[in-house]
Amino acid sequence: MSNVTLYPELANYIFDYCTRFRTENETKALQHFIAMEKSDNGRKEGFYSFFKERNMVSDDAEVLKLLEHGFQTFKKNVVQRIYDEHKHELELNLCPKCYQIARTPQAKQCRFCFYNWH
């Protein structure tokens, strides 16, 4: 990994909207994290059963290893890997005026310079 420091808005955009570049295990790890958060680590039995029935709770060691240092480290590692491996394929919605990342792929107003390209 090149370990380029990506500013938070770009990192969030890549994590949230460049999902086709996630590996199968990264997707499973995210689902597992969400399931465990919503079920209060299994203490909310109804929620836990719901997620378990939908195969969102994992016992795969490789999947769980991705989360061993917490969600923020997992997210940073996923974003960094996607950027390193696919930076020339990423379809980033950049402001045509200041070239900062837009909030979403559909956004047409810059959150930084407020330029509007509707």
pLDDT at 3: 67
* Cα separation, 72 vs 76, whole angstroms: 6
CB 35 within 8 A of CB 57: yes
> From residue 17, how far is each of 37, 55, 59, 99 by CA, in Å?
21, 23, 27, 18
Are the beta carbons of 13 and 78 closer than 8 angstroms? no
CA angle 49, 53, 59 (to 5 degrees): 85
Q: Which two tokens stand for residue 30?
A: 């995210």
Q: What integer pLDDT is reported at residue 5 of this predicted model?
A: 79
How far apart (Å, rounded) are the C-alpha atoms in residues 34 and 29?
9
**Of the candidates 110, 102, 91, 118, which has an alpha carbon nearest to the alpha carbon of residue 10?**
102
pLDDT at 1: 60
pTM: predicted TM-score of the whole model, two decimal places: 0.91
> Taking the chain (118 residues) in consecutive chunks of 10 residues, what is each chunk's mean pLDDT?
81 98 98 96 93 96 98 98 97 97 98 97
